[in-house]
Structure 1
Amino acid sequence: MTETRATGYDGLSSRLVPEAELREFLLDCFGVAEHEVFVGHADRVAEDLREVPQDVVFAAFCTYQQVHGHFAMRFDVGIEGRLADRVGRGEFAARFAAHFGAYVLHGTTEPPGLWTVTLADGSRLRAAMEEEDDRSVLHTATAPIPGLPEIRVDEGLWRIR
């Protein structure tokens, strides 16, 4: 039997989620115990872990930070393979978007320069954006994104391989 490898789910959220809410979401989403999850601001990880023994392993390790542009938050969630078996990358994005009423940008298999955006209703579209420092701005998408009427719609993004 092949064991699923540890992986990471990272993305951008249109909503800045408070740390306590993010922790509760991860506990529920992955069905793990409180002691198996770490959540901390990316700038405070060393400080937050100062009192934690170095041999402690978390099943889900999440860092986040505020960003600007069309997104409010960047998140990185490292997970054990058993959690990836429970909740895949696309399902994680859909659950996050629905739970927080946000749109979530994520990706792994899209052509270079394109991303998947999952809306709160679970629908997915492809989008292109520009990034500079901590500012990410969408400029084209395959369908309208609620609250962002300035985004150009181009269904042809689906044809790019």
Structure 2
Amino acid sequence: MTRTAATGYDGMSSRHVPEAELRAFLRDCFELGDEELFVGHADRVTEALATAPADARFAAFCTYGEVSGHFAMHFSVGIEGHLVDRVGRREFAVRLAARFAAYVLFGETEPPGLWTLILPDGSHLLATMDADDDRYLLETVTAPVPGLPRVRVDDSLWQVRDRH
């Protein structure tokens, strides 16, 4: 029997999600108990783990932090393989976008320089981005993004993806 490898779901959200709400989402999304889940600010992981038992083992380990530009936060969720079988990377992004009425940027199999952007309604676009320190701006998308009328639309990004 082949076991699914552990992996990470990394991305950004246009809405900052408070830690308690993020914890509840992850618990529901992956069907976890509180003891199976760690959620903490990326800058304060050591302090947050100080109160955890030394032998604690988390099925999902999530860190997050603030960013600026078109996104409000970044997240990184490390998960055990059996959770990958429950909720894939794209499904995770779709659920996060819908739950928090946000757009969620993540990478999966796009060529370098392209990202997938999930809108709150579950639709997806391809996007290019400009990043400078912790400031992330969408440069080009394959269709208009509600609330971001100045982002350039270029549906030829689909052709770039299909060539790779």
Q: Normalization by structure 2: what TM-score? A: 0.97
Aligned-pair distance for 1:51? 2.2
2:93 is aligned with 1:93: yes
Task: State the distance in 2 between where 1:114 and 1:141 align.
Answer: 10
Partner residue, 1:120: 120
Runs of 4+ in 1 over 2 A off after TM superposition: none
User: Any unmatched runs of 5+ in structure 1?
Assistant: none
**2:17 is the counterpart of 1:8:** no
Query: What is the distance in 2 between the residues matched to 1:97 and 1:110?
Result: 19
Give 1:53 deviation, angstroms. 2.8
CA distance in 2, matches of 1:156, 1:68: 27
**Which whole-Å CA distance do the structure 2 matches of 1:89 and 1:32 have between them?**
17
- Distance (Å, rounded) in 1 between the aligned partners of 2:39 and 2:148: 30
* Amino-acid identity (%): 66
Amino acid at match of 1:105: L
Instruction: Report the CA distance between 1:54 and its aligned residue.
Output: 3.0
Q: Return the letter of the residue paired with 2:141.
A: A
1:46 aligns with 2:40: no
1:119 maps to a residue whose letter is L
Where 1:91 maps in the other structure, the secondary structure is: helix
Instruction: Please state whether the residue corresponding to 1:54 is helix, strand or coil.
Output: coil
Deviation of residue 52 (structure 1)?
A: 1.7
Map of 1:19 onto structure 2: 19
Does residue 81 (structure 1) correspond to residue 81 (structure 2)? The answer is: yes
In structure 1, give the amino acid aligned to 2:35. H
